[in-house]
Structures are given as C-alpha cells and as structure tokens.
C-alpha cells in the first residue's frame, strides 16, 4: 500500500497546527472540487489540497460524461421521458448483488437537481442528442446511451433512456472543461487551495468518548504541515489503479488488461488513510474492464467468440460489459469476427488496437489461420446466421438492429488480452461510506469527522459487467457534493 497512509497520528502528538479550517478536502479532482464548493456554500471555511501542481485528478483526464437522468433538462428537450424509478431499476439491476440501494436511490432521486447544480456552476450542456453508438460524443452534442440500457437483459428490466450527458465541447475534451469550470467556482469563492501537497496521515483525537478525525498531516515543500479540520476531513484522493501492489493483492484479474486509467496519484492513499482510521475497504476485487470495440458501430454486426468457438455476449452490449465477459471465458483466445464490409473503417476509427488474426474466403481457411477447429467454427457461424435469418438471436438476444448475416470473406480481430488489443481498466473498490459520505467502521458506525467521496469511496458503480460511462464522474461529483455538505454541517 502507501506506507505513511497506513498509520494515523494521535492528536496529542501535534505540537501546533499550521492551518485551521472547518473542512479539509484531500484531493482536487471532480469529487474534491464538488465537496469543497458544497462545503463552502453550506457555510464552512474550506481548504482543498492536491499532490499535483494543478487541479484535475483523474476527472480532468476523463471525458467527463455524466450519467444523470430521471428527467434532466436535456432529456426532456430531446423528447425522452425518463424517471428516477426507471433509472433506479436500471442501476440496481446492473450493479448486481453489490448494489447499494440507498446510494442508488439518493443518486437517482437527486439526479435532476445535481444536473441543475452543475449548470448553475457553469457546466455547459447542449439540448441535443448524439445518436451514434459510441463510447463518448466527439461533437458538442449532449445526450447518448452510455450503458446497457437498450441491450439484453436490461431492456427487459427497466425502461431504457439515454443518460450519458456530454459537455458542450468538441472532441474528447470534457474533462478539462469540467474541472476548469469547477476550479473557477472554487477560485470565485476564495476557497483556500494547496497544491504539491501530499496527504500523509489523518490526525485522530482519542480524548473524547469516541475517537474523532480532527486534521491531516501533509508534506509540503518537504515539511510536515499540520492542518486542523474543525468539522471534517473529506477524502477524495481517487482509487488505487496506479498501485500495482494493491491491484495484485485485491484485483489480480485486472492485470490481464493493458492500460490503467487514472492519474499517477491513484495509489490508494486515501483508501489506506481511511482504513488506518478504522474504515473498511469494500468491493476491492471489482474493476471496469473495457474492450473498446466501437466505434465504428459496424463492428457491432460482428460476433465475439472464445477459443471453444462459442459466443459469450450479446455484442450490442456496452464495451465494458463485453470486457468483463471476456475475462470470464474459459480458454485463452478471443476473436471478433466481422464481415469485410463491417471491418471497413475499423483501422481509422477504432480505439481497439486489435491486430488482424486471420481472414478467410471459407471456414477452413479462417479456422486454419486462427488455429481453431473448423467444424466448431462452422457450427458457430451457422448457428448465428440461422438466428439472423430468423431475425432473432435466441442464444444471446442481441437486438435485431445489429443482426446481419456473416458472409465470406470474414476477418477476425485478435482480442486476446496480451496480444495487442487495447484494454483499459480501473478499480471499483473503496471505503465503505454512508449515503452522506461518512466513512463507516467495521460495525457500520460513522467515524466522526471523516468523509470520503469519488473513487476513494465505494459509491454507485460496483461492477465491471454493469458499468456505464459517465457514472464515475456523475458519482464523484454527486458524492463529493453530498459529503462536503455533510462535513460542513457538523458543528
């Protein structure tokens, strides 16, 4: 883990406080910025710290889509009738047995209000839709499907609606705009900002009936700086995807992927500080695993197969659901089989990076190039085509919009982990928190004075196979705002 963060400091050892605030926010990404603004607006004297030299965290590196719904202004303008209940049903189903129903309820019921809060801060959303099947909108249009809402089995479980809200900015530039907007709001409020400041450990006062977090020790300019937090500390220090030891320890399957998504500060230090104070880290084995096979959308007409020549997913699913399913396959190799036509603009438009493993004018040729059993391969393709002819994929329920005969010649992309394919990943575990962001101990009791939000906490998104784009920044800004408000209100 992160060595110094594994211990706490007893307040009796603090000779003097260098700074004193009501609320101290550790980490200046989307969660921390939202926490600082909310705490300030609730009347607290706030300071925000980051180990980097500028604001942003992983939020600034992201697309900063936000997964929001229940009837936002943009959803309404685009003619979608979404409800908090539909959104709740979807998020409960997609987060499986780990779903935190209280958090999901609060998130869905508060989603429209959160959208409006962001708009008031100056975050721009255009009342328009981005209709392509894509991971993020590359235009300045706003609304798109960023999860599995329209695909099986979720289309059977909740009324689908697009809930990905892309910022009004061209290209994949939402992150800098989002953070820039929040940073401007922080500056306008005169909130104290400290950069190049590494949080070392929490300071705990054991003198009362119950222990209480009362401050943070930072390292700034090679000095230990003692910062008092009268009301609360909010840990918004990101996840642990950049800590190889922690990933090996908690989520070893993720190491089959290729690109950890986050900023270098995602070392789990916030989680370790919370645990040292008595918090509990949960869901640490789970992660988001992407197989970014679209765009181009035409690849969705293809089929994924394992080396048993079995399909394993409805290919109209979200790329993260496909990635998670891929890691569960028996055998080693994974291929995406495509019509040559649908391969079309793969090379120019794809993020997948999967090399061509083989092409074939007939099944024998392709099977030979892929080192698969030609009989099995033939049967698999025939089975799929049989469903296409019938207009129904009875095996995996891919939507009929994406059913198209596989017709020779075919091309196979090698999607086997470790053989060239691009597989970004990040972690989904963190501190157990109450709905208001209070860090809970092993007895489910809040640790006085300690809050966590964003990826340092275990929030709404909990499963790789149910993840949807925009839920991380949505949850980070929402949970940060909630935690900041709660920290400010403690007297």
Return the structure tokens found at 388: 């296409």
Question: Residues 18, 227: contact at Cβ < 8 Å?
Answer: yes
Alpha carbon dihedral 386, 391, 392, 393, in 10-degree steps, equals 50
Nearer to a second copy, 119 or 376 (CB): 376
| Nearest distance, CB of residue 189 and a second copy, angstroms | 36
Give the shortest CB-159-to-a second copy separation in angstroms. Answer: 22
Round to whole Å and give the CA distance between 267 and 49: 16
First to last CA, the chain: 33
Selection from 291, 297, 303, 286 nearest residue 346 by Cα: 297
- Least distance (Å) between residue 267 CB and a second copy: 12
CB of 331 to a second copy, least distance (A): 9
Q: How far apart are CA 282 and CA 298, in angstroms?
A: 38
| Closest to a second copy by CB, 307 or 342 | 307
Closest listed residue to residue 465, CA positions, set 254, 316, 321, 253: 321
Q: What is the DSSP letter of 372?
A: -
CB of 325 to a second copy, least distance (A): 7
Binding site for a second copy (CB under 8 A): 1-3, 5-6, 96-98, 248-250, 252-253, 255-256, 272, 275-276, 278, 280, 282-286, 308-313, 325, 328, 330, 373, 375-376, 379, 383, 386, 394-396, 432, 441-443
Pick the closer one to a second copy by CB: 40 or 211: 211
Compute CA distances 79 → 91, 131, 372, whole Å.
Answer: 22, 13, 48
DSSP-derived pairing of the beta strands 430-431 and 197-205: unpaired
Residue 213 tokens read as 């977090």
**Which contacts qualify for 360-366: CB closer than 8 Å, 24 or more apart?**
360/408, 360/409, 360/410, 360/412, 361/408, 361/409, 362/408, 363/408, 366/410, 366/412
Residue 413 forms beta bridges with which residues?
Answer: 336, 356
d(C-alpha 330, C-alpha 315), whole Å: 18
| 407 closest CA partner among 362, 346, 376 | 362
**Residue closer to a second copy (CB basis): 173 or 249:** 249
Instruction: Report in angstroms how near the CB of residue 27 gets to a second copy at its nearest.
Output: 19
Closer Cβ to a second copy, 283 or 339, answer by number: 283
Nearest approach in angstroms of CB 248 to a second copy is 7
| DSSP reduced 3-state for 126 | coil
d(CA 485, CA 43): 9
Q: Minimum distance from CB of 308 to a second copy (Å)?
A: 5
Q: Which is closer to a second copy, CB of 277 or CB of 415?
A: 277
Smaller CB distance to a second copy: residue 64 or 216?
216
- DSSP string for 255-319: GGSSEE-S-TT-SSHHHHHHHHTTB-EESTT-EEE-----SSGGGGGSEEEETTS---S-TTS-H
Q: Which is nearer to a second copy, 13 or 120 (CB)?
A: 13
Q: Among residues 98 and 359, whose Cβ is nearest to a second copy?
A: 98
Tell me whether residue 66 or residue 403 sits nearer to a second copy (CB atom).
403
* Helix (H/G/I), strand (E/B), else coil: 237: coil
Report the residue number, 289 or 309, with the smaller CB distance to a second copy: 309
Q: Which CB atom, from 99 or from 487, has the smaller least distance to a second copy?
A: 99
Nearest approach, Cβ of residue 449 and a second copy (Å): 17
Tokens of 169: 């900015």
State how far the alpha carbon of 3 is from the alpha carbons of 49, 226, 273, 330, 456, in Å.
19, 18, 10, 37, 17
């Amino acid at each position: 883990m992160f060595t110094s963060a594994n211990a706490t400091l007893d307040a009796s050892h603090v000779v003097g406080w260098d700074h004193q605030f009501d609320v101290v926010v550790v980490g200046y990404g989307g969660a921390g910025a939202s926490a600082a603004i909310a705490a300030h607006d609730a009347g607290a004297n706030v300071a925000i710290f980051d180990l980097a030299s500028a604001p942003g965290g992983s939020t600034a590196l992201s697309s900063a889509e936000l997964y929001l719904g229940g009837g936002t202004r943009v959803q309404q303008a685009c003619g979608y009738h979404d409800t908090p209940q539909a959104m709740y049903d979807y998020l409960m189903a997609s987060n499986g047995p780990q779903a935190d129903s209280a958090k999901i309820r609060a998130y869905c019921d508060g989603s429209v209000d959160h959208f409006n809060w962001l708009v008031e801060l100056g975050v721009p959303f255009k009342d328009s839709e981005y209709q392509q099947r894509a991971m993020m909108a590359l235009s300045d249009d706003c609304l798109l499907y960023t999860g599995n809402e329209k695909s099986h089995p979720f289309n059977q479980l909740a009324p689908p609606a697009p809930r990905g809200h892309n910022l009004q900015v061209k290209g994949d530039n939402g992150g800098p705009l989002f953070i820039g907007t929040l940073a401007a709001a922080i500056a306008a409020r005169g909130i104290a900002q400290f950069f190049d400041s590494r949080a070392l450990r929490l300071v705990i006062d054991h003198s009362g009936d119950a222990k209480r977090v009362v401050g943070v020790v930072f390292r700034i300019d090679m000095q230990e700086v003692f910062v008092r937090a009268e009301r609360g500390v909010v840990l918004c220090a990101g996840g642990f995807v950049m800590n190889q030891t922690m990933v090996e320890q908690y989520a070893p399957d993720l190491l089959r992927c290729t690109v950890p998504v986050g900023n270098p500060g995602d070392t789990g230090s916030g989680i370790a500080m919370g645990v040292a104070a008595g918090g509990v880290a949960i869901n640490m084995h789970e992660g988001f695993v992407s197989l970014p096979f679209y765009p181009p959308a035409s690849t969705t007409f293809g089929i994924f197969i394992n080396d048993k020549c079995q399909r394993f997913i409805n290919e109209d699913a979200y790329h993260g659901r496909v990635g998670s399913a891929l890691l569960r396959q028996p055998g080693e190799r994974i291929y995406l089989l495509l019509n040559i036509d649908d391969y079309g603009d793969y090379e120019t438009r794809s993020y997948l990076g999967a090399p061509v493993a083989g092409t074939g004018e007939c099944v024998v040729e392709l099977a030979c190039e892929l080192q698969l059993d030609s009989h099995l391969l033939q049967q698999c393709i025939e089975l799929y085509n049989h469903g296409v002819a019938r207009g129904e994929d009875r095996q995996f329920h891919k939507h009929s919009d994406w059913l198209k005969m596989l017709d020779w010649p075919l091309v196979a992309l090698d999607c086997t982990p470790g053989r060239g394919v691009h597989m970004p990943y990040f972690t989904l575990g963190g501190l157990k928190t109450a709905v208001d962001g209070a860090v809970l101990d092993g007895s489910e009791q809040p640790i006085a004075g300690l809050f966590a939000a964003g990826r340092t906490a275990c929030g709404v998104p909990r499963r790789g196979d149910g993840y949807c784009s925009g839920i991380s920044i949505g949850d980070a800004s929402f949970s940060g705002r909630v935690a900041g408000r709660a920290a400010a209100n403690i007297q």
